[in-house]
Amino acid sequence: MGLKTNALFNNFLTSGLKLADAETLRKVRVLNIFELVFVIVAPLLGLFYFQIGALLLFYICVIAGLAGIGVMLFLRLTKKLTLSSNFAMFVLWAVFILIRWNSGGMSPEGLILLSWVWNGVLVLLAIFLAGYMWGTIWACLVFMESGLSVIFFRTGHHFTNLIPPEISPVYSLGFYLTGLLAILLFAFLFEKERADANAREQEKSRMIAESRRYMENIFERLPVPTFVLDNSHRVVQWNRACHELTGILPQDIIGKPVWEGFSIDEEGSVADKLLDNPDVLYEKYSESIISMTDSGSFSVEALLPKLKGGTRASIKASPILDEDGNVKGAIQIIQDFQEDDAKPKTVPQHESPSIDDSGYPVFRVDSKGRIAAWNKTCERSFGYPESQVLGKSALSLVSKAYRPNFRDTILRVLKGESFKGLEWKYGNSKGKPLYMIVRVQPGAAPSGEVEECIVINTDITALKLRLKNAGRRAIESEESLKKLTESYNLLTKNIASIIRKKKKED
């Protein structure tokens, strides 16, 4: 019962919003809490006016309470925070005007002027809920009202005062003190939001740092030679496999051009060419390109003339992009084929090995592109039982953007080639993405002819999603911190302005 009550109350405070971001939900809760307090306080204030005989103000407070209920219903129906916030501001502003202008408004009695401090509350509430632009608009409106009141007062206009003279000073002082408390409450609210944002930023920075260390550890332990260049063609990362292959320590190569043994011609490595002009790489080595993707990645089979006296290798290079899509560097992976031999590997003259005992998700694809075998690990990873996928097109498992590369790879493997280090994106039975590092090799019949492909997958989904989430949280945190800092700075300026104005009036 208690959980159900909490859920209902939370639904009331959030106006039924579920998919909104955390900042929007916080503002919706503040608006609903403010309106709830307003709906409770307005009738009580109306009873006070009823007791002292100010019936006009009594009716105004009752109508204002009903309008507060209307604001909450309007927010729940429309889910438009800015529009609902301005609706609430209008109700509050109208109530302030009607109460102030019927309780002395401008008068020789100085204490009555203390009620104008509530204009500061109105402006701060507008800034917090609707943003700086609407806060500025409401501030201008408040200043215009103040100027109009001064003009009326200077021209001798008589302001109605429904408050009995004997309680007028106490009434005005009470309005001032409650208004001051409201301003201090907003100051604490802004400061708390800023502190929470800093805490969230520190936590996300810690998570990003951990993810970076995790990635660097994976990069270092990759079993294939891998290096990274910046956009000035200098090596910024050089893993252990590169060191073992070349004998060059990371500290001896970092900040320098890539080792000449990884160059495919006099102009440098595949990564160098990818940084300079990918179109030239495609035109010059079109016959050697194994695959390419829309993201700019190339997989090339090429001769490295200065590596072990001439070695053919499978080279995969990808650009590294920033948030705006600009190239900031390139990463290259090198896999040995065979020394100075352009022919593809031959297929062993024996039956293809069993895949049932493999701890990796492994499936076979026949010459017609249909799934011919599906091991238990595939069932756990993809969520499909063997009976559901056998005989169906393997292409249906692959995301649309990766299907051309998948189709091309299968066709080449059926001709006797093998591939390692490919990255494919699948979809599981629940429609969620699966990212895999893939090795594809031919499966031979007893006659020695290639009849099928063996696809061996290594799941990297958790790593991929973790990196994406870390990047997104870092961006969101930076934006939230910027907004809260601006709000805090404006808050301090507004409070200082109100204090200076009060001193001038005194």
Per-residue pLDDT of the chain (506 residues; tens, 9 = 90+): 555 677 787 788 888 887 667 778 888 888 888 889 889 999 999 999 899 888 998 999 999 999 999 999 998 898 888 999 999 989 988 988 888 788 765 555 544 556 678 888 888 888 888 888 888 898 888 888 878 877 877 787 777 788 887 887 788 778 788 888 888 887 777 777 777 777 877 887 788 777 777 777 777 777 788 899 988 889 988 988 888 888 888 888 999 998 888 888 777 888 888 888 777 766 676 656 666 666 677 777 778 888 877 788 888 888 888 777 788 888 888 875 554 444 444 444 444 456 666 678 899 999 888 999 999 889 988 999 998 999 999 988 998 888 989 999 999 888 888 888 788 899 988 888 888 888 898 886 666 677 889 999 888 887 777 766 666 666 666 666 566 566 655 655 665 565 555 556 55
Which long-range contacts (C-beta less than 8 Å, at least 24 apart) are formed by 478-481?
478/201, 480/23, 480/197, 480/200, 481/197, 481/198, 481/201
Q: How many residues does the chain have?
A: 506
Angle at 235 between CA 232 and CA 240, to 5 degrees: 165
| Angle subtended by helix axes 168-221 and 118-130, to nearest 10 | 20
Instruction: In whole angstroms, give the CA distance from residue 365 to residue 345.
Output: 19
Instruction: Tell me the backbone φ, ψ of residue 102, rounded to 5 degrees.
Output: -115, 15
Q: In angstroms, how far is the first alpha carbon of the chain from the final one?
A: 56
pLDDT at 292: 63
Instruction: In whole angstroms, give the CA distance from residue 122 to residue 128.
Output: 10
Residue 327 in tokens: 């190239």
Residues pairing with 434 in the sheet = 426
CB 209 within 8 A of CB 190: no
Instruction: Tell me the backbone φ, ψ of residue 334, rounded to 5 degrees.
Output: -120, 130
DSSP conformation class of 358: -
CB 273 within 8 A of CB 281: yes
pLDDT at 316: 85
pLDDT at 461: 82
Range list of β-strands (E), 325-407: 327-339, 362-366, 371-374
Angle at 189 between CA 188 and CA 192, to 5 degrees: 80
Instruction: In whole angstroms, give the CA distance from residue 304 to residue 302.
Output: 7
Instruction: In whole angstroms, give the CA distance from residue 201 to residue 480.
Output: 9
Instruction: In whole angstroms, give the CA distance from residue 189 to residue 186.
Output: 5
| Angle subtended by helix axes 118-130 and 132-154, to nearest 10 | 160
The secondary structure of 195-240, three-state, reads: HHHHHHHHHHHHHHHHHHHHHHHHHHHCCCCEEEEECCCCEEEECH
Domain limits of the chain? 2-190, 224-339, 362-459
For the chain, count helices (H), then strands (E). 15, 11
pLDDT at 495: 54
pLDDT at 463: 72
What's the pTM value of the predicted model, to 2 decimals?
0.43
pLDDT at 484: 58
The CATH homologous superfamily for domain 362-459 is PAS domain (3.30.450.20)
The yes-or-no answer to whether 224-339 and 362-459 have a common fold is yes
Instruction: In whole angstroms, give the CA distance from residue 336 to residue 304.
Output: 10
pLDDT at 471: 60
Residue 116 in tokens: 């104008």
The secondary structure of 447-481, three-state, reads: CCCEEEEEEEEEECHHHHHHHHHHHHHHHHHHHHH
Instruction: In whole angstroms, give the CA distance from residue 180 to residue 174.
Output: 10
In the sheet with 450-459, reading across from the earlier edge strand, the strands are 371-374, 362-366, 450-459, 433-444, 419-427
Domain 224-339: assigned CATH number = 3.30.450.20
